[in-house]
Structures are given as structure tokens and as C-alpha cells.
Amino acid sequence: MQWWRDAVVYQIYVRSFSDSDGDGVGDLEGVRSRLGYLELLGVDALRLTPFYTSPMVDHGYDVADPRNVDHVFGGLDTFDGLVTDAHEHGLRVTIDLVPNHTSSEHEWFRAALDSAPGSPERARYHFRPGRGPHGEEPPNNWTSVFGAPAWTRVQDIDDDGEWGPGEWYLHLRAPDQPDLNWTNPEVWADTEKTLRFWLDRGVDGFHIDTALGMSKPDGLPDSTEDLPGADVSPAALDDDPRFDHDGVHDVHRMIRAVLDHYPGRVVAGEVRLRDVERFAHYLRPDELHLGVDVRLMHAPFDADAVRVAIESSLAAVEKVGAPPTWTLSTHDVPRPVTRYGGGPVGCARARAMALVELALPGAVCLYNGEELGLPDVELPDAVLQDPVWEHSGRTERGRDACRVPMPWEGGAPGFGFTSGEPWLPMPPEYGELTAADQLEDTASTLSLIRRAVELRKTHPGFRGSSVEWFGAPAGCLAFRRAGSTLVCALNASAEAVPLPPGDVLLASGQLQGNLLPPDTAAWLT
């Protein structure tokens, strides 16, 4: 059974979810303690961001040992207990896989630095001599997604036995995250070993980080255009030499081939591409099961833009028969409440878009805190930890604002997330958004999301793999799940409009009789 085709997957940024030991950083035991909440929310599966051994330069996406748990998050026994308990709660567990790069503290990279140019140790990464008379210029003009050059020079021993400036290595993220060389068979073998290690421990699948990476074009040619940074729209990655090279599909086929030996397991990845044909390539029958499409996430709160995003996403998967996968929020982008305007307006629009997303066919990904209607947090410069901040020369503030920990109950400073000081400061306004309080409030965002997820699972109107569009007033949209009676209507205009015919099943805000107010969505049957 392909359980993932219409699943609601809940992404947990582990260090911000729940802290069990009071050190201010979320951990696996904290996740384990909140499984009852997640079962109550009604989600089908969890996606855990990296918890592997790491120096935490990029908060776990710099992996030093992909087959172990960092002490900050617990241990392998804790992970095993979490998987067992999650399954008992009816929840599947998927984990992030980071195949594009390692930490600079990985044993392979330390060995590469201790080895000579041209050595087998260096062949696991992309080491190159520099350009210029003395190799003082990087091998090409690529920049990292964090905004700085994508190359760092190392010290090597010269012919006289003296240390001096030597080769350069490639890193599409921070210098502490060197890219692996996927033309090297050792890289393939080690990744397969990692996949089997976690599958044998009971994980239900993987989310591939940097799913467009891994393969690099022959010769690593210069880019003919300025390259985008971290927070990019899907269009920005088209024709980017750093990503979507044809060889990446061989990597996905290898990953899929391993998972096919473990029935019921899923592999997903975020596919930031505008071109629907190239998007579909990642969802061929022997590659990803789910391609998380970010078009809807990047669409403004505008009915025409939302419709275009939905139609494009559906078209991208139609030819290969894969389900669409929707998201409005991740740990890398501003939260919907902030993105749609902030304050009461942003909250109303985020609630409306949640109903639009959950009415669509396919899988849905929620990011922790989205169900509470959390906004981004304005943080002082002194507490920023995202490497984007430093590597951009402090011109880009990075992603910390959407990673502030979850408020569970009580008051400052930890709001039930921790008994200590949270790793990022939690604002006083979180006292009005705690999960405990929202569970008791039938009008809260949490109650709305819970009800929407429940209806999505139980109401007969949620069937059919496509949508049919209806005529709607200017600034509005309305669609029906094909073959059903469920209609979703969104009013993104400035005026109240008549509701479509039918009985109201759920609304994101207070209706005005038979009128749908601005910034509101409704389900009708």
C-alpha cells in the first residue's frame, strides 16, 4: 500500500521541537514525549531533520557520522525507542538524508586534508588546483547557496617539504560542508550502507536533502550568470550548473533500488524546478516517490497566482502518475503568517491557505509550529546562528526567525519547550499561542488544522486525483476534487463575496451569513 500518496507529513526541526533535558536544545526524547500530541493532530508521518553526529555549524546538516546520533539529541537507543513508540501511536517516521556533502569533521575529509593532491582520500571530494599563475584563484566562479565563494583553499606540502597554499575544495554550502564526489564508487557504497543502517532500524523512509545536487557537470565549468543564494524561488534554479545535472538521477535510482527491498518505505525530496518536464524526471517510477513542490509556498496571497501554482504542480506530476506534494512552510523560509503580511491579516491568510492546501489531492507537508499559527520572530543580531548570516557578510539574516522553538505551555523563557534557556529566544507573544491553550480553544488555528486533517481522512468528499475549477469573482478561486462533491473556495480580494452553493463543512474564519469574507477560505459539500 502506498500510504504516502495522500499522507500528511509533519516536519520536525528537532532542535526546536521539545527539549527533554533542560539544555535549551530540542532532542529525540523530547520528540518522543510529544507523540500523543502528534497523534491527536492527526498526521500520518514525521519527518525528522538531521540528528546525526555533527559539529552543528549548520545545525546538523553538516554530518560527521551519518550512522550515529549526536549526543545533543540523545543516542541510538533513544532513536530506536522513538521509532517503536511512534509506530505504536500509528505514526511513521522518516528522516533526512544528506548525500550531497559531509561535515569537514567527517573522517573522510580529515583524511583528505592529511593526504596529497591526487590521493584516493581526496578523490572522495572535489579537490582542484586553483587558477592563476600561483593557483590563487578558485577553480571556477561558483558561489555557495550561502552567498560566499563555493571554494576554499587548503594548505599542502610543496616539493621542498614546506606547507603552503595548495588545492581548493568545493562546498555548495558552508566551507564546513565539503561536497562529495559522486563519481567515486566509495561514495555510492557508503551511502547505501547508511540507507540500510536506518532502514534496518525501522525508519519508514527518507527525505533527500539537496535533492538536485550530488552530480556535477564534467569539468566544473564557470557559470555564465550570477548564481542565486539560499532563499530562492523554483525558477531561480533552472539552468543553474550547480544543480539538476543529469547524473543526479542515477543517484536517485540507486537510493530507490535500495528502498524497493524494504516494502512500504518512501523516499521524498524537495524539487525546486520551474520546468515541469525536468520536475517530472525526479518522479519517474524508479526515482523519488514524492517530489515536494515549492510553487505554492512561493506564490503570493493572490488567487490567480495560487491557481497557477496549483495547476503547474499538478501538471508536473501528471505524466509520471506520481501524487503531488504540497507545502506552505519549511525550516528554510519565512513562516506563512509572516509571509502573508503578519499580524491578524497574515494569520487569517495563513489559515485560509492551509484549507486550500489540505483540500488538494496528494500529500501535504506541515512544518512544526505551522498548526499554531506561529509568525517569524524578530531576533537581535547577537543571537543569530544560521551560517548564512556570517557567510553573506552579515547582509542576509538567514533562517533563524522561522526556527525559534515551539511554545507548548506556560510562560517565558521556555514556554514548556525547555526548563532552561532556549537556544533561540522565544518572544513574549508566544504566551498567546501555546499548544496547551489552543487545544482548549475551538476557534484556534490548532483546532482548525486538527479538524481539517480529520475531515481530509474521513469525509468521502476527499477523493479524486485532480481538480475542477469553477468560475469565481475577481480575486477569488474555487475548485472541486474531481469525482466528488467537495468544493474549496478562497477569497483573496478586499470585499466579501457570495459563497458557492452547498453546505459549509469548515471555514478558516467567521462567515458573514452567505458571504465569504476577505482573507478566508471555506469547504462546502
What local confidence, expressed as pLDDT, does residue 506 receive? 98
Counting residues of the chain whose pLDDT is more than 70, the rounded percentage is: 98
What local confidence, expressed as pLDDT, does residue 238 receive? 62
Over range 138-151, report the average pLDDT.
92
pLDDT tens column, 155-165: 998 877 888 99
Q: Are strands 515-516 and 487-491 parallel, antiparallel or unpaired?
A: unpaired
- Contacts of residue 418, Cβ cutoff 8 Å, sequence gap at least 6: 19, 22, 23, 24, 25, 26, 405
Over range 93-115, report the average pLDDT.
98
Kindly tell me if the per-residue pLDDT of 88 is higher than 90: yes
pLDDT tens column, 325-336: 999 999 999 999
Kindly tell me if the per-residue pLDDT of 108 is higher than 90: yes
What local confidence, expressed as pLDDT, does residue 171 receive? 97
Angstrom distance (rounded) from CA 1 to CA 391: 45
**Half-sphere exposure (CA, 13 Å, Cβ side) for 10?**
28
- Contacts of residue 303, Cβ cutoff 8 Å, sequence gap at least 6: 472, 475, 476, 477, 490, 492, 493
pLDDT tens column, 407-461: 999 999 999 999 999 999 999 999 999 999 999 999 999 999 999 999 999 999 9
Question: Residue 274: pLDDT band by 50, 70, 90 thresholds?
Answer: confident
Kindly tell me if the per-residue pLDDT of 306 is higher than 70: yes
What local confidence, expressed as pLDDT, does residue 283 receive? 97
Question: Residue 517: pLDDT band by 50, 70, 90 thresholds?
Answer: very high
What local confidence, expressed as pLDDT, does residue 232 receive? 45
Cβ neighbours of 347 (radius 10 Å): 23
Burial class, 34, CB count within 10 angstroms (exposed 0-12 / middle 13-18 / buried 19+): buried
Kindly tell me if the per-residue pLDDT of 140 is higher than 70: yes
Least confident of 56-60, 124-128, 270-274, 436-440: 270-274
Q: Mind giving me the DSSP string for 376-423?
A: P----GGG---HHHHHTTSSS--SGGG-PPPP-SS-TTTTTS-SS--S
Question: Residue 43: pLDDT band by 50, 70, 90 thresholds?
Answer: very high
Whole-number average pLDDT of the chain: 95
pTM: 0.96
Q: Is 14 left (phi over 0), alpha (psi -120 to 50) or beta?
A: alpha
Question: Residue 229: pLDDT band by 50, 70, 90 thresholds?
Answer: low
What local confidence, expressed as pLDDT, does residue 402 receive? 98
Among positive and negative, which fits the CA dihedral 221, 227, 230, 236? Answer: negative
What local confidence, expressed as pLDDT, does residue 144 receive? 92
Over range 32-51, report the average pLDDT.
98
3-state secondary structure of 240: coil
Question: Residue 109: pLDDT band by 50, 70, 90 thresholds?
Answer: very high
What local confidence, expressed as pLDDT, does residue 237 receive? 57
Q: Mind giving me the DSSP string for 433-474?
A: S-HHHHHT-TTSHHHHHHHHHHHHHH-TTS--SSEEE----T
Angstrom distance (rounded) from CA 465 to CA 472: 22
What local confidence, expressed as pLDDT, does residue 390 receive? 87
Nearest CA among 106, 95, 121 for reference residue 62 = 106
pLDDT tens column, 375-392: 999 999 999 999 888 888
Over range 194-221, report the average pLDDT.
96
Over range 126-138, report the average pLDDT.
96
pLDDT tens column, 114-124: 999 999 999 99
Question: Residue 235: pLDDT band by 50, 70, 90 thresholds?
Answer: very low
pLDDT tens column, 460-487: 999 888 999 999 999 999 999 988 889 9
Angstrom distance (rounded) from CA 352 to CA 450: 14
Residue type, 13: Y
Question: Residue 226: pLDDT band by 50, 70, 90 thresholds?
Answer: confident
pLDDT tens column, 293-304: 999 999 999 999
What local confidence, expressed as pLDDT, does residue 233 receive? 44
Helix, strand, coil abundance in the chain, percent, nearest 5 = 30, 20, 50
What local confidence, expressed as pLDDT, does residue 388 receive? 87
